[in-house]
């Protein structure tokens, strides 16, 4: 039993699902019976749809158990630990036999997520055992020059994983070329896309990988200070980052003359952001770090020339930096063997929405969107029909079914009208109204606009008003054309990426689902039956039993009918709340 390890996933997703209670239950059972197995903590392994997750490693191998509650945890201790009988029906992943979740794991290539779910993120020694800080030690030991480090990153083909896709090595080269007494490197961890949680999971599960990436970047560009700009809504990530930073200092990876490199003085601190979406733009982020309101500035000068405190500054996001140690340790060729000609390596996606296996998936560039959704993600919930996938968050676009074979590649995704973004994939089924989706994302970007640019501030508001009218049954002929005209004006006239991309969800839904807009405007109908003002509720006389449940629950008393007689809905008094539809047990309420 002393060789057995019990590992509980304690990322935000696991904790939200009850993993803390599971951990405490196992701990209590261990202490009560003086059991000798090792109880450990880790973070999210990506299978968010199976949380809480508990892994048991014994002499035979590893067993990952899913959907574990306190009762099941007690069963695992009794059966697997004490009686040496794994409970196969709870296993979601093992190399010892087939599991139903096999496809979620087998098609992934984990570079960014290489340590997430495998180490205790609060213990630097576990990171080091898996190759952590070996890359910066290699640079220090072999005295690899700054330019050679930059060239390795350039040769790898790594592009910024924050959304823009700019070549990381070139970004470093520009910052290196600008000489100054002080330079800065900033990690943008202010993840703002609705439905995206890649950066949070990396920070919670492998904070040292991000720190090592920053340290290598600082060496390459001769930075003297580092900032991790992390949203305050990520308390667990911030806690683990603070622990990791202190451990890195204690072990000589931060401070003065790092690892014996004369003059390499570098340290990192955390700046907590307020979750403003506009701070995903570099100059707005810099303004926020400086204590100013997060608003974009004109470029040039670019941050590589004049950034934080007017000093040369390099900004990379979490996923980009987490790749750096792996590339320096394994070489640019090994990294570049994954992907396509212009998009190398892997990409982490957050699979959310109407998908069976929600969670994090890291796939090689070049895999089709279809395979990501239907092989790794397991397809659509309740086996409904796929309708669209939103990629790139509120700045992205909706990709329809006939483009599912588009490959995961910056240029290929951009060609659809969407963008790679930071990696959110919001999957939608046949019951989704695309006009309502466009309104949802535009409502988000309109609220997040900093207000500096007139077209972004006022233009997105006018677009939102039009979309709201359409979903309320007040759409007019010419509204679609107005939306398109405003979209292009906003894209062409906005200063930063928020305004330049805000119209994308509207443009792509008009491009691929124009008939839905026309149905809302001309027929005053919502084909997906989502927009309540456009719905009509009627009683099916063949199915109505006269039970009176609908009438009793109608908030406006709009339903007439005696007991055991067919009921009738008075349309003038119906507020389209849908209560009758949800309360009816005989499927007698129809929606038109």
Could you read off the pLDDT of 505-563 as tens digits, one per residue? 999 999 999 999 999 999 999 999 999 999 999 999 999 999 999 999 999 999 999 99
Lowest mean pLDDT among 75-89, 183-197, 344-358, 367-381: 183-197
3-state secondary structure of 423: coil
pLDDT greater than 80 at residue 2: no
In this predicted structure, what is the pLDDT of residue 246?
Answer: 98
pLDDT greater than 90 at residue 192: no
> Can you tell me the distance from the alpha carbon of 161 to that of 165, in angstroms, rounded to the nearest whole number?
6
434-523 CATH, one of 1.10.760.10, 1.20.1440.230, 3.40.50.720, 3.50.50.60 = 1.20.1440.230
Around Cβ 383, how many Cβ atoms within 10 Å?
Answer: 8
pTM of the predicted structure, to 2 decimals: 0.94
- At residue 189, what are phi and psi to the nearest 5 degrees? -115, 25
Q: Tell me the pLDDT tens digit for each residue of 413-469.
A: 999 999 988 888 999 999 999 999 999 999 999 999 999 999 999 999 999 999 999
In this predicted structure, what is the pLDDT of residue 162?
Answer: 84
- Once rounded to an integer, what is the mean pLDDT over residues 236-241? 97
Q: Tell me the pLDDT tens digit for each residue of 469-494.
A: 999 999 999 999 999 999 999 999 99
- CA of 141: how far to CAs of 134, 136, 256, 260, 266, in Å? 10, 8, 17, 9, 18
In this predicted structure, what is the pLDDT of residue 581?
Answer: 95
- CA of 61: how far to CAs of 86, 167, 172, 327, in Å? 11, 41, 43, 29
- CA of 350: how far to CAs of 189, 360, 389, 392, 496, in Å? 15, 5, 12, 11, 25
Q: How confident is the model at residue 500 (pLDDT cuts 50, 70, 90)?
A: very high
Q: Which CATH architecture has domain 536-591?
A: 2-Layer Sandwich (3.30)
pLDDT greater than 80 at residue 342: yes
Q: Tell me the pLDDT tens digit for each residue of 9-18.
A: 999 999 999 9
Which fold, 5-106?
A: Glutaredoxin (3.40.30)
pLDDT greater than 90 at residue 191: no
Around Cβ 411, how many Cβ atoms within 10 Å?
Answer: 13
pLDDT greater than 80 at residue 193: no
In this predicted structure, what is the pLDDT of residue 274?
Answer: 86
In this predicted structure, what is the pLDDT of residue 164?
Answer: 80
Taking alpha carbons only, the member of 399, 403, 358, 364 closest to residue 381 is 358
Q: How confident is the model at residue 395 (pLDDT cuts 50, 70, 90)?
A: confident
Topology match between the domains 5-106 and 434-523: no
Question: What average pLDDT does the structure give for the chain?
Answer: 95
Q: How confident is the model at residue 108 (pLDDT cuts 50, 70, 90)?
A: very high
- CA of 400: how far to CAs of 389, 411, 471, in Å? 7, 17, 21
DSSP state of 455: I
In this predicted structure, what is the pLDDT of residue 423?
Answer: 87
Handedness of CA 334, 338, 341, 347 (dihedral sign): negative
In this predicted structure, what is the pLDDT of residue 19?
Answer: 98
Q: How confident is the model at residue 222 (pLDDT cuts 50, 70, 90)?
A: very high
Q: Label residue 143 left, alpha or beta by phi (over 0 means left) and psi (-120 to 50 means alpha).
A: left
- Once rounded to an integer, what is the mean pLDDT over residues 251-266? 97
Q: How confident is the model at residue 393 (pLDDT cuts 50, 70, 90)?
A: confident
- Once rounded to an integer, what is the mean pLDDT over residues 93-114? 93
The residue ranges of every structural domain in the chain are 5-106, 124-336, 346-429, 434-523, 536-591
Q: Tell me the pLDDT tens digit for each residue of 21-43.
A: 999 999 999 999 999 999 999 99
In this predicted structure, what is the pLDDT of residue 163?
Answer: 77
Q: Which CATH architecture has domain 124-336?
A: 3-Layer(aba) Sandwich (3.40)
Return the CA Rg of the chain.
27
In this predicted structure, what is the pLDDT of residue 209?
Answer: 98
In this predicted structure, what is the pLDDT of residue 3?
Answer: 87
346-429 CATH, one of 3.40.630.10, 3.10.20.600, 3.20.19.10, 1.10.150.120 = 3.10.20.600
> Is 47 in contact with 91 (CB distance < 8 Å)?
no
> Is 419 in contact with 370 (CB distance < 8 Å)?
no
């Amino acid at each position: 039993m002393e060789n057995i390890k019990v590992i509980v996933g304690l990322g935000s997703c696991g904790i939200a699902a009850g993993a803390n209670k599971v951990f405490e239950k196992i701990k209590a059972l261990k202490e009560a019976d003086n059991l000798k197995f090792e109880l450990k903590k880790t973070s999210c392994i990506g299978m968010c749809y199976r949380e809480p997750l508990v892994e048991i490693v014994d002499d035979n191998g590893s067993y990952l158990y899913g959907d574990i509650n306190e009762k099941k945890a007690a069963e695992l201790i009794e059966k697997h630990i004490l009686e040496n009988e794994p409970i196969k029906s709870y296993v979601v992943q093992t190399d010892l036999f087939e599991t139903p979740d096999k496809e979620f794991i087998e098609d992934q290539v984990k570079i960014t997520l290489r340590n997430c779910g495998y180490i205790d993120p609060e213990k630097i020694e576990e990171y080091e055992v898996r190759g952590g800080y070996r890359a910066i030690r290699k640079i220090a030991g072999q005295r690899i020059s700054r330019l050679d480090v930059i060239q390795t990153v350039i040769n790898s083909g790594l592009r910024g994983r924050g959304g823009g896709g700019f070549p990381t090595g070139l970004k470093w080269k520009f910052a290196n070329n600008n000489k100054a007494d002080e330079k800065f490197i900033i990690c943008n961890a202010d993840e703002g896309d609705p439905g995206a949680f890649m950066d949070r999971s990396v920070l919670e599960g492998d904070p040292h990988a991000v720190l090592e990436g920053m340290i290598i970047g600082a060496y390459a560009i001769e930075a003297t200070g580092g900032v991790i700009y992390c949203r305050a809504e990520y308390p667990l990530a911030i806690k683990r980052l603070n622990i990791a930073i202190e451990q890195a200092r204690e072990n000589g990876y931060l401070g003065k003359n790092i690892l014996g490199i004369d003059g390499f003085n570098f340290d990192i601190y955390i700046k907590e952001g307020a979750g403003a979406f506009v701070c995903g733009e570099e100059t707005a982020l810099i303004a926020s770090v400086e204590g100013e309101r997060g608003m974009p500035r004109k470029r040039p000068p670019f941050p590589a020339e004049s950034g934080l405190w007017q000093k040369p500054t390099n900004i990379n996001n979490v996923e980009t930096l987490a790749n750096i140690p792996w590339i320096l340790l394994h070489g640019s060729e090994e990294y570049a063997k994954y992907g396509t000609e212009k998009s190398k390596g892997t990409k982490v996606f957050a699979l959310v929405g109407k998908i069976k296996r929600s969670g994090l998936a890291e796939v090689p560039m070049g895999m089709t969107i279809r395979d990501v959704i239907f092989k790794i993600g397991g397809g659509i919930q309740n086996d409904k029909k796929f309708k669209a996938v939103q990629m790139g968050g509120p700045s992205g676009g909706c990709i329809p079914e006939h483009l599912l074979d588009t490959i995961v590649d910056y240029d290929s995704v951009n060609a659809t009208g969407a963008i790679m973004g930071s990696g959110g994939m919001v999957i939608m089924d046949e019951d989704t109204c695309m006009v309502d989706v466009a309104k949802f994302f535009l409502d988000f970007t309109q609220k997040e606009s900093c207000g500096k640019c007139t077209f972004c501030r006022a233009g997105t508001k006018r677009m939102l008003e039009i979309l709201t009218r359409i979903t309320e049954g007040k759409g007019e002929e010419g509204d679609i054309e107005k939306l398109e005209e405003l979209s292009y004006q906003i894209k062409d006239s906005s200063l930063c990426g928020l305004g330049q991309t805000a119209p994308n969800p509207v443009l792509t839904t008009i491009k691929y689902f124009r008939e839905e807009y026309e149905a809302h405007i001309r027929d005053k109908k919502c084909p997906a039956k989502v927009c309540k003002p456009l719905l009509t509720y009627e009683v099916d006389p063949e199915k109505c039993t006269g039970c009176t449940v609908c009438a009793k629950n109608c908030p406006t008393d709009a339903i007439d009918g005696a007991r055991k007689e067919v009921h009738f809905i008075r349309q003038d008094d119906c507020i389209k709340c849908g209560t009758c539809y949800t309360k009816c047990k005989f499927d007698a309420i129809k929606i038109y």
